[in-house]
Amino acid sequence: MSRIGVFICHCGENISRTVDVELVASTASQFPGVAFATDYKYMCSDPGQSLIKKAVSEHRLTHVVVAACSPRMHERTFRKAVEQVGLNPFLCEMANIREHCSWVHEDREEATQKAIEIVGMLVERVKKNRVLPTITVPVTKRALVIGGGIAGIQAALDIADAGHQVVLVEREPSIGGHMAQLSETFPTLDCSQCIMTPKMVDLANHPNIIMHTYSEIEQVDGYIGNFQVTIRKKARSVDENKCTGCGICMTKCPQKKIPNIFDRNLGTRTAIYVPFPQAVPNVPVIDRENCTMFKTGKCGVCQKVCGPGAIDFNQQDTLIVEPVGAIVVATGFELYDITEKPKGSPIKGYGEFGHGKIPDVIDGLTFERLASASGPTGGKILRPSDGKEPKQVVFIQCVGSRSREKGISYCSKICCMYTAKHTMLYHHKVHDGQAYVFFMDARVPGKSYDEFWRRAIEEEEAVYIRGMVSRLYQKGDKIVVMGSDISVGVQVEIEADLVVLATAVQPRKGADALAQKLGISYDKYHFYSEAHAKLKPVECATAGIYLAGACQGPKDIPDTVSQASAAAAKVMTLFSKDKLEREPIVARVKENNCVGCFACRKVCAYGAVEEKEIRDRQGNLIKMVAYVNPGVCAGCGTCQATCPSKSVELDGYTDEQIVAMIEAL
Amino acid sequence: MHTEKPKHDFEPKIIAFVCTWCTYAGADLAGTSRMQYPANVRVLKFPCTGRIDPVFIIKAFQQGADGILISGCHPGDCHYISGNYHARRRFAAFRKLLEFIGVDLNRIQFSWVSAAEGGKWVDVVTDLTERVRTMGPMVEFKDLALEEQWSGGLNSPDLQEIYEAM
Ligand SMILES: Cc1cc2nc3c(=O)[nH]c(=O)nc-3n(C[C@H](O)[C@H](O)[C@H](O)COP(=O)(O)OP(=O)(O)OC[C@H]3O[C@@H](n4cnc5c(N)ncnc54)[C@H](O)[C@@H]3O)c2cc1C
Ligand code: SF4
Ligand code: SF4
C-alpha cells in the first residue's frame, strides 16, 4: 500500500496568485493512496525541503509528489532531498503547476481545477514508479579533441596539463585553424602568429598529447567514459618519423603554380608543401591531385633530394582505434564564400556583389592575409588584380548575416570588431588612404571593445556610413559601390579601389556528418547545440561530449578560449572519478517475452541493443534475445514503442506509469 | 488588463503527448513568457516522441479525451537523433488506421514545437482546443470502453448472451 506525500508550492505568489493552493492540497489529501498533503510558500527553499524530509520520516511516506515549477527546473532538487531521508529518488515526481498552469491561465477556478487534475495524474503515476538503482560505468581517463584551432589547442593543453592523455585529431596537415591566418588581433592588436605559434609548439611537444594531423574521424562507438574512436590517418606520402622538416623537397618540386589556399589563393605553393612556414608538425604533405608523380608516374624529384628518405609514394590511409572517455568537439567555422552559390547553404547568393567575379572584391580573411607580415605580400596592402596600393577601401559588414532574405538571420558577432581592426591596419599601412565602412549598427560589447571601435573612427579616421550596399560593379579599374546612408537618407556612391566583405560566419561544411557520427545535435544552420543555452553552454546533450569554439556559434578568440578551458574543466571533472553514475532511465528487455525479432535494434539510434544467447543448464541454445547495454542506452524509449511483443520497457516511463496517468484523467 | 472570458457549453478534454526536450520545454517557455492559452490541455511528458505508443491514443480516447496532440522536436533536431522520425512514420501509418475505423482525424494533431517556440505551443493548443470544441465530445471510444467493462461478474446474463451469440 502506498503512502504518498503531496507538497504544493506557492512559489511566492507565482502559483498561489492563480491557483488555490490550499484547495489543491486538501483535495489531494483525499486521493486514494495519499497519506499526507500540504502547501508551503517556497518548497525548493531550505525550510521547504526540510518540511518534505520531515514529512517523509514522520508519515512513513513511500512516494512523493511535489507540485511546483517545471521538473526541468527542480526535479533534481527534490529527488536529492528525498534521497537524504532514505527514499529512492525515482519515487519522487513533480507536477508542473507553474509553467503549465498558473502562468498560462488567468481564470482562478479553471487553473485550480487543472492543478488538481495534474496532481492527480502524478499521484497515479508515482504509485507505479519503481525503485531504480543507480547505474555505474567505468571511465577511461583519456580525451579526444577534434579540431586543432585555438579552441582545440587550448582544451588539449588544459586537459594534458592536468595529467591526462589527449588525442588530438586535425583534418588539415597542420594545426592552427583560422587564428594562424590572422594578422593582428583585436582588441589589443597583438600579432596572431606570435601568440599562437608557441601554443602550437607546446602542444606538439607535450608528453601527454598524441597529435594526429591530416586525419579525420571515421567512426565513434561507445558512450560516456567508454568511447572507441576510429581515426583515419590520411596518406601524407611523407613519413612523419623520418622527415626532419628541412624543406628541400619543396624547393625542388617542379609543380610551383598551385594556388595557396592558406593564403586565400593570393600566392602559390608546390605539390609537396606545408600549408604555412610555422606549420606544426613541420612535415610536408603531397597533394596527390597536383603531384606529377601521381599524375604521370614520372618525377619523384622530392624523393631523390630527401636526405632521410622520408618520401613514400605508396603510403596508404591507416585506421587507428583510440579508446577515450570524453570528447571535445572544436571544429570551428567557415566563412561564407560569395564566389559560389553553395548547394544546401541557406544563403541565397550575392549576384549584386558580382558573385566573386570582381577580383578586387575580397573577404575579411583575405584581407588578413594581405595585412599579415608572413602573408603573400609581406604585409603590404596590395590589391589582387594589379598589385597596386588601394587608396579608397570600402568595407561592408553583415554580408549574409542578420538577413532573413539571404537566409542567415543570426549575427556573425566578430565582424564589427575585425572590420574596425581592418580599417586601423589599413590606416597604419597606407597613410594617405581612406577607409569607409557600411554598417547596420556596431555590435561591440566586450572588454575594451567599444573603445577599440571608437578608436577606429576617432583616431584612425575611418568613415562609418550607416546603411546598406545594394550593388557593386567594376568601372575601369574602380569598383563602384552603390549604397545608402540611412542616417541622413541619401544615396551614396563611392569609387573604391578595393572592397572588403565581412562575410557570414558559418559552420563547417560537413558539420552535420560529423555530428551524426558523434550522435550530437545541431541547429538549423548546423552549429552544434549545447545542452542548455545558459546553464550548460559547453556540454552536448549527449553525455561525455563537449563543445569548444566557433563550431557552436560565432565567437572571437577570447570567448573561444574561455569555452575551451571550460570544456577542459568539464572533462577533468568527469575524469576525477574512477566510475560514474548515470540516470537509470534505460530500457530493459524482458527476456522471457522477447521473441528475438530485433525490431528494437533497427530503431535504436545508439546501437544499444545487442544479441544475447539464452541457454539451458546443459548449455544448449534455447533462443536469442535482445539485450540493452545500459551504458549505451540513451533512454529515448523508441525501442519500447516499436517492440511487437511488448518485451522492452523503459525504466521511468513504463506502460504502467503512462496508462496510470491517462486513466487518472 | 483582465478581459472577461467567454463561457462555453462544452469544454473539450485535450491530452498532449510531448517529448521532454523540445515541446515540453516549449510549453515551459510559454509559461515563463506568461502567454495565455485555454486550460483544457493536460500534458504527458515522454523522453522522446519515439516512446509514444499509438495504444496510448486509443487509451486516451477511451478515457474521455476529445482531442489529442502529439508533439516533439522538429525533424533533424531530435535529442535522440532519430526518435521523432520513427514516431512520424509510426503515426503516419496509425492515422490511416484511425481513419479506416472512422475516427475524425481533426481530433488528432501532430506538430513539431521546439524548446524555443513558446508561441507556437500556444497556437497549436489553442487551435486544437477551438477546433475540437466545435466538433463536440468524442463519445465512440468512451462508450466502447464502458461496454468492455461490463458491470456484472463473470457470469452475468448479459455476458452469457454475448458468449452465446459468438
Ligand atoms: C577575418 C577574421 C578576422 C578575425 N579577427 C579576430 C581578431 O582580431 N580577434 C579575435 O578575437 N578573433 C578574431 N577572429 C575570430 C577567430 O578567428 C575565431 O574566434 C577562432 O579562430 C575560432 O577558433 P576555433 O578553434 O573555434 O575554430 P577554427 O579556427 O576554425 O579551427 C577549427 C579547426 O578544426 C579543424 N577541423 C574542422 N573540421 C574538422 C574535422 N571534421 N576533423 C578534424 N578537424 C577539423 C580545422 O581544420 C581547424 O584547424 C577573426 C575571424 C575572421 C574570419
Ligand atoms: S558582428 Fe557586426 S558585422 Fe558582423 S554580423 Fe554582427 S553586426 Fe554584422
Ligand atoms: S531506449 Fe532508445 S537508446 Fe535505449 S535501447 Fe531503446 S531505442 Fe536504444
Is residue B58 over pLDDT 60?
yes
**pLDDT at res. B158:** 67
Q: Where are the alpha helices (DSSP H) in A253-322?
A: 292-296, 301-305
Stretch(es) of chain A classified as CATH 3.50.50.60: 142-234+317-332+508-575, 334-506
A25-45: pLDDT as tens digits:
999 999 999 999 999 999 999
Q: Report how far residue A520's alpha carbon sits from residue A531's, in angstroms, rounded to the nearest whole number.
A: 10
Q: For residue B115, give its domain range.
A: 14-165
Q: Report how far residue A524's alpha carbon sits from residue A521's, in angstroms, rounded to the nearest whole number.
A: 10
Full DSSP string of A73-84: HHHHHHHHHHHH
Which amino acid is located at B36 in the chain?
Q
Tell me which of 3.40.50.1820, 3.50.50.60, 3.40.50.300, 3.40.50.970 is the CATH number of domain A142-234+317-332+508-575: 3.50.50.60
Q: Which residues of B touch A521 (CB under 8 A)?
A: 77-79, 81
- Which grid coordinates are listed for A4? 504518498
Q: Where are the alpha helices (DSSP H) in A430-556?
A: 449-458, 511-518
Scanning every residue of chain B, which has its alpha carbon at the shortest distance from the alpha carbon of A640? B51
Under a CB-based contact definition with an 8 Å cutoff, are residues A154 and A199 in contact?
A: yes
Is residue B145 over pLDDT 80?
no
In a domain, B6, yes or no: no
Stretch(es) of chain A classified as CATH 3.30.70.20: 587-664
In a domain, B5, yes or no: no
Spans of chain A below 50 pLDDT: none
**pLDDT at res. B1:** 42
Q: Report how far residue B77's alpha carbon sits from residue A536's, in angstroms, rounded to the nearest whole number.
A: 18
Stretch(es) of chain A classified as CATH 3.40.50: 4-127
**pLDDT at res. B8:** 82
In a domain, B1, yes or no: no
Q: Is any atom of ligand 2 closer than 6 Å to the C-beta of A416?
A: yes
The fold for domain A4-127 equals Rossmann fold (3.40.50)
Spell out the CATH class of A334-506.
alpha beta
CA of A557 to the centre of ligand 1 (A): 8
Distances in Å between the alpha carbon of A69 and those of A8, A74, A355?
A: 10, 7, 52
A587-664 in CATH: which number? Answer: 3.30.70.20
Scanning every residue of chain B, which has its alpha carbon at the shortest distance from the alpha carbon of A119? B42
Is residue B156 over pLDDT 90?
no
B88-93, Cβ contacts within 8 angstroms, sequence gap of 24 or more: B88/B49, B90/A641, B90/A642, B90/B54, B91/B54
Strand segments (E) across A98-225: 135-138, 142-146, 165-169, 184-185, 190-191, 209-212, 215-223
**pLDDT at res. B76:** 74
In a domain, B3, yes or no: no
Task: Please give all residues whose beta carbon lies within 6 A of any atom in ligand 3, as ranges.
Answer: A 587, 603-604, 606, 608-609, 628, 633-639, 650
Q: Does A598 touch chain B (CB under 8 A)?
A: no
Mean pLDDT over B99-120 rounds to 91
A450-505: pLDDT as tens digits:
999 999 999 999 999 999 999 999 999 999 999 999 999 999 999 999 999 999 99
B70-100: pLDDT as tens digits:
999 988 778 787 888 999 999 999 999 999 9
Which amino acid is located at A221 in the chain?
D
In a domain, B114, yes or no: yes
Chain B: closest CA distance from residue A553 (Å): 16
- Which grid coordinates are listed for A419? 572590420
* Protein residue whose Cα sits closest to atom 8 of ligand 2: A398
Distances in Å between the alpha carbon of A33 and those of A7, A64, A330?
A: 14, 11, 52
CA dihedral A570, A575, A578, A584 (to 10 degrees): 30
Strand segments (E) across A476-596: 478-485, 490-496, 498-503, 505-507, 545-547, 579-582, 587-589
Atom of ligand 1 nearest to the CA of A186: 8
CATH code at B114? Answer: 3.40.50
Q: Report how far residue A525's alpha carbon sits from residue A554's, in angstroms, rounded to the nearest whole number.
A: 12
B34 vs A103: CB contact, 8 Å cut-off?
Answer: yes
**pLDDT at res. A461:** 94
User: Which of the residues B78, B86, B141 would you substitute to probe the A interface, choosing the one with the greatest number of A C-beta atoms within 10 Å?
Assistant: B86
- Which grid coordinates are listed for A487? 542616417
Chain B: closest CA distance from residue A636 (Å): 5
Q: Report how far residue A405's alpha carbon sits from residue A415's, in angstroms, rounded to the nearest whole number.
A: 19
In a domain, B4, yes or no: no
Chain A: closest CA distance from residue B53 (Å): 5
**ipTM associated with this complex:** 0.89
DSSP A664: T
In a domain, B97, yes or no: yes
A62-88: pLDDT as tens digits:
999 999 999 988 999 999 999 999 999
Under a CB-based contact definition with an 8 Å cutoff, are residues A373 and A191 in contact?
A: yes
pTM exceeding 0.80: no
Number of domains in chain B: 1
